[in-house]
Structure 1
């Protein structure tokens, strides 16, 4: 048995409409100041719409001159509150940050750089801003680089539960002894697509929202918040301030509907029960609940019902909604509301629900209407819920009210199922058949920028095509052929995908979700699992890069010329967690539900998180992976420019690690892996494809000032070393290394240098492969596609060669250039994101491995 570490909160940072510092925020809360008022930015579009807006530009201490203009608000606000929290904790610039993790929760990041194109402000468009803030995950890359946090990052993208979920992940990393500290941030500026979506769903209140009473409706808001989480003994040893202690967390999925909560409140009740069980607490221990409390009819009724199901004496427990002060801050809502509790509960005061009028039917609890209630709370609960039925619950205690460490028996984790969708086919058998036949899977694709005519804003694809400066910027991304764009891509026949699926709602299935569902079904079937009996204890963790691009495009187009007529269906379906939502509803998966939008190789982050959930016995099983789609548009070209990518038009194929050829082929598809406890899999006679022995994470921290054309790979090597240490192995125990680099010069050099550094003292060269050449670069799912071929090599004692590459970059590594017969007992899978995050996973041979 292992003791879990105690996790305390030692730093706070906040930015809201009622305070840009913790002191201002506390004073506003205690004076019952409401920050919801007629919008200063959107009233001209949506009429007299109310919002909780940050109207004054914050001060960004320590930011280099000229950098502010190149960053978006999501990154700037995250940096501001993150730095404030580190200053508050006494950790800014501390060497300990080199092993600390960063977890950021967002709903709509990576948007601002492209807003001038959408809002017809073309002269305001900045290539520099797209390079630094032009991807969904760039907020993590920026903050980790500016604050020099090198222990690895995660970007949680579960909409309205994102920052609450981020707190839970940071807590878990510390209590399971992976990191001693974690900086957790939620950041959410308010942009046109977000407010237009809620407006068209008819959920916005005409005035300040009145949760659980009066006229239903929510108030939209924006802001950011940050917490420093720290291992208890580490914090006390350095005399850090302690604001509270995180006791437990949990997530769950309703598997019910894309936007509406389950009216039976089963998922919301389940997440509270699971969190209580994880913290070895009883309902009677909870003395206050800070609720989600959006003010909408369905949320308030469902949330009230859920609490009645969990707490027998719920009428004696005060519950209140902080959204009555600051509106719904979407991705940053949970962390800001959590901070509000930490700032006011020590005063012996429970925050009221402001604007409270006549309670609505079925809303009959103690909502602390309008006035503070005096009570000395020791343990409180923080709940948030999101589109897609994503539920999250945190349990925390005020200083001096912590609980003894809980204990757990670490499980061995097996991979028992793999599901694949690629240009070469579906499933491992079909893909191996295509590889043996020499099937390429790639084709030269061209598309012509669309022409919308004179209505609405100038189409940005036309604008890019006619803009010489941008054509120069994209010279490596396109071959000009009249007004056509050309790329060599690996595309999936999505009609064939649909024929392979069993039962799913075709009306709600976009391409990327369909890919993910088919891969998930394959993995479950491959494992011989029965989701009907294990759905409540199965986690679904999805890694995302660019997400549902086609749906995002349709939604953005629907905002023109009148944002009040935006398509209601495309709004929730354009969110990063929409793919997980579709899969959970289709398969009835109701366990932990998280989307990690880390960018390239995001499935590795999903894999590591799912492994931890199973290893600690929090979930019995985990379905993890990623999915990607190719969407031919100028916006996609802009996003690729952010990553410094240069697509390859070579007919001979995608040549990874080639000395004479750089560039990549765009790929699409999905990869999902089913993981479960090794003992349980053995008991039911499940196939053991491989075993996860350990993993490591790190971050380069050089995103802002990445002037080194030959990246050292130092931090990737550190992730490899951490993974080997956790697995109890040395470099001499590894029989095969699989990289997932995407073919550019910098990607190749970083990955190869990192592997060279890690294995420099090995007694003999280690065989090295990278199979992205078979599939194209499938941005988030590439690790699972590579994983499948590695596990097959372990099973068959035969290693497939790296495809297409003729002349390898270095002679210091043993690249597998032809098929090799070799017994592979342990393998290492490595990968990085375009923002400098690094992962390493050690794999063990499946049955009859002991």
Structure 2
């Protein structure tokens, strides 16, 4: 039976760039053909002839106090500013409406600003309060959702230059699942020194304003933010919202070619445009205009032109332009700002020009709308963006909502047919699972010694706030005496480390020169999942998608890259720049295995892998991608990150392995871990036809968030949000609480996370909590942040296969006596299981699995 695909319209917009501070100003600046690219004011002291499109004007931030503004970075402040503008334009004022609104943010560089003074050797400018509040990559979504009162679940996209385009696509797909009628999408990208230095060192930047497809090649880097409120069409009509246009279709793909250079054959770019057309049941001749990526670099402009020629038979007459000629390349915010430019000009029958256009380059011989607006009626237009790593995104939209025929899809059942694990307990899924069933407690823990240099740096940071009464009061009210941290952390602690790994023993294709630990873990787990699923890629890599969830990403590469900025950012290590991006892990895996389907990296923090799972589920369920690999990976924190962890998240590292007791009545802390967990998802019907092992079926999920990010101990709010996610999951699965036979949490083991998870289960299941087995296996692996929920879920699939439930390790005395925590091995058939997970920012997931007999 076919399901009608929901129409998704745009009912609110917000914008910030070098040429305008709101949407109204932006439209006028576009009509005036204002170019915001000029000599950089921020970075001229380091880089000769450096041009940029910089936000230099004062910015109004309504409803925020000066204290709040001082504690937030520009990524969050700009996102808040444009998000608020979009919500107000959409007249989405009511708290109840906002509580059902999802938030998807795209960004490339986040969590950086607080530490820039350290890179620039200006420790007096360092703000410990800012480091605590927004010194984490994933903090932006939590901050903005809390400030704007959005509770419909959030995600942070980190696919570099396609991040905001990718975010729009995810929001579009998620609106199809009946959980959100509205989704606020934001792209935000301040120019930070690491990004500027990286592009400058790659010699990709032009000394004059960029002129895409013509003249001397080169890009101009830009900064800014944009926001769109996406809304289900009937919902928008019912509340009388103004409709600015309609998003008709979306697709993404991966080149699987190179970590920076585009595929010269443009196969990935061709594929993504064809997929977007197919998803919208359209043909190339339906497109009236293309807003190109158009960076201005030789390779991008040439390959993009080749791709468009291969897709569009009418290409000679099709208008194409690059908005980057106005505002430069806004990296993570590029796609959404460029989309807004289309929505404010196309309704007036004006097609945006490519400014600064000179002599066309060789093989760039299309209608790039040089220098002046063209008049023309545009029904459907295409917005393309491409990123490092070969991540390609394509959106098809129209300024005339309701003008395109509705489409439908056949919902698929989604099966798990493959699993992969790399943990401290073993290097492959079977070894890890066998150890859990054979051993009574985890093995292979290693000691972590915090060196004197790290402790001295931490002490200097603490000393930096002594005498700053406001910051000092905030710090010690929130965390207590700094001396207590040093006593707790200085000296030995324990960690779950992957040891003795020989990648070539397991991997047929492995480039050790480009591999780091986190990429190696991810690739190994990924190939295991494919092997168990019985899937080999034979020139059909486009049929497999890859959705990864990241928490800290390639930490060691980031550290090496940032260290190379000082003392002279002109000498930065260019080899480390692309590898330091969050989507570098996905790039490495895709190139290694030839995976060319949907490609997305979420960086939502702890349990981002569960966010990847929910999106991968939607791709298969909606028939957008027949097979998708989902999961996450992490490498161990460096010693300094251990200190920052204790600051930012109010968490403590335990000093003995046995003290890692989740749901204990005595909180003793947690242990860090590293590794990866991956799942192979596919259409259940197709899996059965090819004889794949059906390990479990995903039958529902839920997602909701709390808005109490600035309240560290907001247990009640987090419990309520998780309870909402659980109810959503059960509703989609069409299950009552009586039909759930196992609950698996993924609390990290702190008092607040334990209590929020337990209280949420009590709210939903009431008296049934005393009879439903409750487990959590994080103590086996340590806190492998991005994928702890995935690792737990893999154990649950094995429980379903074996009919036996292993106990929680270590914990003997629990925080409550009316929940059936499993403390001894139990023979019991599990037919349906509920898996829970939370991010540190208050985003909560619930997934329901069913055993397939």
Same fold (TM over 0.5): yes
Q: Which residue of 2 aligns with 1:519?
A: 525
Deviation at 1:488, TM superposition (A): 1.2
Q: Distance in 1 between matches of 2:645 and 2:656?
A: 22
* Correspondence 1:170-185 to 2 at 5 A: 170-185=171-186
Query: Cα RMSD over matched residues?
Result: 1.9
Q: Which residue of 2 aligns with 1:440?
A: 443
- Relative distance call for 1:367 and 1:640 in structure 2 (3 A) is farther
CA contact (8 A) 2:526 2:629 kept: yes
* Correspondence 1:579-594 to 2 at 5 A: 579-594=585-600
Q: Distance in 2 between matches of 1:595 and 1:2?
A: 28
Deviation at 1:460, TM superposition (A): 4.7
Q: Which residue of 2 aligns with 1:664?
A: 670
CA contact (8 A) 1:50 1:220 kept: yes
Q: Distance in 2 between matches of 1:681 and 1:709?
A: 41
CA contact (8 A) 1:450 1:462 kept: no
Q: Which residue of 2 aligns with 1:19?
A: 20
Deviation at 1:708, TM superposition (A): 3.7
Q: Distance in 1 between matches of 2:715 and 2:555?
A: 31
Q: Distance in 2 between matches of 1:480 and 1:811?
A: 30
Q: Does 1:841 align with 2:847?
A: yes
Aligned partner of 1:716 among 690, 715, 722: 722
- Number of aligned pairs? 839
Deviation at 1:359, TM superposition (A): 0.5
Q: Which residue of 2 aligns with 1:304?
A: 305
Q: Which residue of 1 aligns with 2:513?
A: 507
Offset from partner CA, 1:146-204 (integer Å, 9 cap, x none)? 11110100101000000001011111111343310000000000000000000110100
Deviation at 1:710, TM superposition (A): 5.7
Q: Distance in 2 between matches of 1:193 and 1:842?
A: 41
Helix, strand or coil: the match of 2:248? Answer: strand
CA contact (8 A) 1:774 1:803 kept: yes
Q: Distance in 2 between matches of 1:11 and 1:711?
A: 28
CA contact (8 A) 1:276 1:283 kept: yes
CA contact (8 A) 1:93 1:147 kept: no
Q: Does 1:732 align with 2:733?
A: no
Q: Does 1:81 align with 2:87?
A: no
Deviation at 1:403, TM superposition (A): 1.7
Deviation at 1:404, TM superposition (A): 2.5
Q: Distance in 2 between matches of 1:475 and 1:553?
A: 27
Q: Which deviates further from its counterpart, 169-178 or 833-842?
A: 169-178
* Correspondence 1:106-505 to 2 at 5 A: 106-400=107-401, 402-435=403-436, 436-437=438-439, 438-450=441-453, 460=457, 463-464=460-461, 478-479=486-487, 486-493=492-499, 495-505=501-511
Q: Distance in 2 between matches of 1:477 and 1:430?
A: 37
Q: Distance in 2 between matches of 1:474 and 1:831?
A: 30
CA contact (8 A) 1:418 1:672 kept: yes
CA contact (8 A) 1:741 1:748 kept: yes
Q: Distance in 2 between matches of 1:498 and 1:476?
A: 44
Q: Distance in 2 between matches of 1:373 and 1:485?
A: 68
Deviation at 1:439, TM superposition (A): 4.0
Q: Which residue of 2 aligns with 1:548?
A: 554
Structure 1 segments unaligned to the other structure (5+ residues): 452-457
Helix, strand or coil: the match of 2:786? Answer: coil
Helix, strand or coil: the match of 1:66? Answer: helix
Deviation at 1:480, TM superposition (A): 6.9
Q: Distance in 2 between matches of 1:571 and 1:459?
A: 28
Deviation at 1:377, TM superposition (A): 0.7
Aligned partner of 1:794 among 789, 794, 800: 800
Deviation at 1:85, TM superposition (A): 0.2
CA contact (8 A) 2:37 2:327 kept: yes
CA contact (8 A) 2:504 2:510 kept: no
Helix, strand or coil: the match of 2:545? Answer: strand
CA contact (8 A) 2:219 2:329 kept: yes
CA contact (8 A) 1:441 1:775 kept: no
- Relative distance call for 1:533 and 1:758 in structure 2 (3 A) is farther
- Relative distance call for 1:400 and 1:503 in structure 2 (3 A) is closer
Q: Distance in 2 between matches of 1:82 and 1:653?
A: 43
Q: Which deviates further from its counterpart, 393-402 or 745-754?
A: 393-402
Q: Which deviates further from its counterpart, 288-297 or 115-124?
A: 115-124
Offset from partner CA, 1:321-344 (integer Å, 9 cap, x none)? 000000000000000000000011
- Relative distance call for 1:206 and 1:449 in structure 2 (3 A) is farther
Deviation at 1:466, TM superposition (A): 7.7
Offset from partner CA, 1:399-446 (integer Å, 9 cap, x none)? 245322211111111000000000010223211333323442322211
Q: Distance in 2 between matches of 1:291 and 1:723?
A: 39
Q: Distance in 2 between matches of 1:761 and 1:102?
A: 34
- Relative distance call for 1:536 and 1:121 in structure 2 (3 A) is same
Q: Distance in 2 between matches of 1:91 and 1:399?
A: 22
Structure 2 segments unaligned to the other structure (5+ residues): 467-474
Helix, strand or coil: the match of 1:393? Answer: strand
Q: Does 1:685 align with 2:691?
A: yes
TM-score (norm 2): 0.96
TM-score (norm 1): 0.96
Deviation at 1:663, TM superposition (A): 1.1
- Relative distance call for 1:508 and 1:473 in structure 2 (3 A) is farther
Deviation at 1:709, TM superposition (A): 5.7
CA contact (8 A) 2:715 2:752 kept: yes
Deviation at 1:759, TM superposition (A): 0.8
Q: Does 1:762 align with 2:762?
A: no
Q: Distance in 2 between matches of 1:330 and 1:380?
A: 21
Offset from partner CA, 1:662-720 (integer Å, 9 cap, x none)? 31100000000001011111111100111000000000111124454665601101100
